[in-house]
Amino acid sequence: MLDLEDLMLKETSQTQRDSVCIIALVFVGNCEIDLEIKRYFCRAGVKSIQIHGTMRVILEPLIGDMPLVGALSIFFLRKPLLEINWTGLTNLLDVPGLNGLSDTIILDIISNYLVLPNRITVPLVSEVQIAQLRFPVPKGVLRIHFIEAQDLQGKDTYLKGLVKGKSDPYGIIRVGNQIFQSRVIKENLSPKWNEVYEALVYEHPGQELEIELFDEDPDKDDFLGSLMIDLIEVEKERLLDEWFTLDEVPKGKLHLRLEWLTLMPNASNLDKVLTDIKADKDQANDGLSSALLILYLDSARNLPSGKKISSNPNPVVQMSVGHKAQESKIRYKTNEPVWEENFTFFIHNPKRQDLEVEVRDEQHQCPLGNLKVPLSQLLTSEDMTVSQRFQLGNSGPNSTIKMKIALRVLHLEKRERPPDHQHSAQVKRPSVSKEGRKTSIKSHMSGSPGPGGSNTAPSTPVIGGSDKPGMEEKAQPPEAGPQGLHDLGRSSSSLLASPGHISVKEPTPSIASDISLPIATQELRQRLRQLENGTTLGQSPLGQIQLTIRHSSQRNKLIVVVHACRNLIAFSEDGSDPYVRMYLLPDKRRSGRRKTHVSKKTLNPVFDQSFDFSVSLPEVQRRTLDVAVKNSGGFLSKDKGLLGKVLVALASEELAKGWTQWYDLTEDGTRPQAMT
């Protein structure tokens, strides 16, 4: 089941060149896939598939004739989340441990085709330059100085938890499909890594810098905090050197230096770049990069037969620059293979390094030809680009390989700013539960690398980073618009589009409603007085909640998207376990209740879940939306209770258009104060 009305277009931008839209895609499908091996009396199959993620669709170039666009490109900005319900013999794959492994293998296959920098491109007219659309030049390069952290949580314990120790922190950094892991600093709550990573940025807005810190343990690593930074802000500032407060944990901050490097098609700034990264003196081939090499491998012709003269080879191409090597896909039984693959290499010093290409027969492991291209040759070429058929050495007399090679200098543009200029990158709240993200990232680190250009980032630090301290500055939470049905977690219940389809007739109110339990409001007021304790609390002492509210006339439903909460009160030293429940008053039946999933141990939860109520527009304008943020807890748990409420009157003429606002939480919800 794929309900297109539930797809939320989070952004649409159009220029004279192309049209781009981002779609939060949620697919919940029931299927019957059965496989039977009669000889061994085995049955297997798939009962249902659920997948959701953020997909980008690019329509380019725009043309003056029908069909108005020349081609269609589709890809995921990051790995989607997948849930498969196996049946029969393959039901064993649902066993804990095996289910994550099977889903990871399938997601790796999806990533090889549909996750940036990979994409599916469908030409709609014959004149389109398909190679240019499939493998565009990156928008820029993000250099990440992963410097240090302070005031992290101590997760290690001794004597069965009686004695608290320190942590063994390490970081995982992700930009799209590129993942890096820092070294582990043993027994330190203020670790200093001083490592540098370089990542390609293909699409923005849409791609973010995601960082997670963990405490290394023999069994299961403990979560120490996360951070998500909008790359639009980094590109705007060019250089950011700041302390960022970690999300989803009560304490901890991280020092980063972020540099946005522009790709220059000329060598005018190369000498200055080489001096800045100290590549003009040393003879090394590794270190910070001064340039980016982009290689499009098209095809080869008239390759020799290899060891057996009567058979065609299985050609594969290996390309290397210094110590970095990448391989193409294998083309079987042909001496005129067509690859159409893209590769990128970070270059330390293009004046001294060479591109080495070797074609070999994968079946017999014998060379079919080789080629060496000095990168200095590109520096004198027009636009530092060469596109031609190269004659292969140690091969047949007419053996050639067709490639397009482009070199781009990585330039850091330093902007002049007044002394009192203040900046802070927009920090986005994590959009997936930390368990779901950790599973995804760790499996990425251990999974098989993608082919070609899909795994261009190094897995180790480039070089020791700067130890320069930055300005201590707390990043402000975003006040962005609707985030859509974005990363709801792995559970099947949270993937379902709307709980409102369950039709259970109950005439009595739900006992879970805090409306029927006025003592919950009294307890919240008492807790608020304890927090105040003689001090003056801020304007929103209970925190805020962000909602998108609109009425769909086509579906005759009220749509409510619960995005996030911020600055909630803590029920324990580990924070709170918040969730959101809603009623459309005066209906207080259990069947009229809507609930989000529980976000564990956080005061700034992100839900991004969509719910609907079947009601007409004239009727809904006479009703009130009751929203309560509550702390989850086990049966008879003392930490179970109300975190805050808001009552939203729906008698607004703007309801058909909808709005997204932050609302102040109060004890009884009677004094809502919206913040746009």
More confident residue, 239 or 460: 239
Structure confidence by residue, pLDDT tens digits, 292-335? 999 999 999 999 987 666 788 999 999 999 888 999 999 999 99
3-state secondary structure 517-569: CHHHHHHHHHHHHHHHCCCCCCCCCCCEEEEEEEEECCCCEEEEEEEEEECCC
Q: Is residue 291 predicted with pLDDT exceeding 80?
A: yes
The predicted-structure confidence for 351-382, as pLDDT tens digits, reads as follows 999 999 999 998 888 899 999 999 999 999 99
Percent of the chain's residues with pLDDT above 70:
67
Q: If you average pLDDT over every residue of the chain, what do you get?
A: 75
pTM above 0.75, yes or no: no
Say yes or no to pLDDT of 112 above 80.
Answer: no
pLDDT for the residue numbered 63: 77
Using DSSP bridges, classify how beta strands 19-37 and 42-59 pair: parallel, antiparallel or unpaired.
antiparallel
pLDDT beyond 50 at 433 = no
Over residues 371-398, mean pLDDT: 92
Say which residue, 155 or 471, is predicted with more confidence. Answer: 155
Does position 455 have pLDDT exceeding 70, yes or no?
no
Pick the closest to residue 401 from 382, 379, 373, 362 (CA basis). Answer: 373
| Percent with pLDDT over 90 in the chain | 29
Sign of the Cα torsion 179, 182, 184, 188 reads: negative
What is the C-alpha separation between 42 and 87, in angstroms, rounded?
11
> pLDDT confidence of 617, banded at 50, 70, 90?
confident
Number of CB atoms found within 10 A of residue 368's CB: 25
pLDDT tens column, 72-99: 888 887 778 777 777 765 555 555 555 5
Residue entry with tokens 């003429």: 653
Of 345, 422, 178, 146, residue with least CA distance to 258:
146
- The pLDDT confidence band at residue 497, using thresholds 50, 70 and 90, is very low
Looking at the predicted structure, is the pLDDT value of residue 281 above 60? yes
pLDDT above 60 for 27: yes
pLDDT of residue 344: 93
Residue 117 has pLDDT above 80, yes or no: no
Query: What pLDDT score does 437 carry?
Result: 45
pLDDT score at 258: 94
- Asked if the model's pLDDT at residue 18 lies above 70, the reply is no
Mean pLDDT of 213-240: 88
pLDDT value for 84: 75
Cβ 359 vs Cβ 305: under 8 Å: no
Characterize 282-316 residue by residue with b for buried, 16 or more Cβ atoms within 10 angstroms of its Cβ, and e for exposed.
eeebebbbbbbbbbbbbebbebbebeeeeebbbbb
pLDDT at 97: 54
Say whether pLDDT at 162 is over 70.
no
> What's the average model confidence in pLDDT over 549-571?
86
Least confident residue range of 78-82, 146-150, 212-216, 396-400: 78-82
Average pLDDT over residues 505-520: 40
Q: Positive or negative CA dihedral for 456, 230, 602, 251? A: positive
More confident residue, 632 or 339: 339
Q: Euclidean distance between the first and final Cα of the chain, in Å? A: 35
pLDDT band at 521 (very low <50, low <70, confident <90, very high): low
What is the pLDDT at residue 45?
74
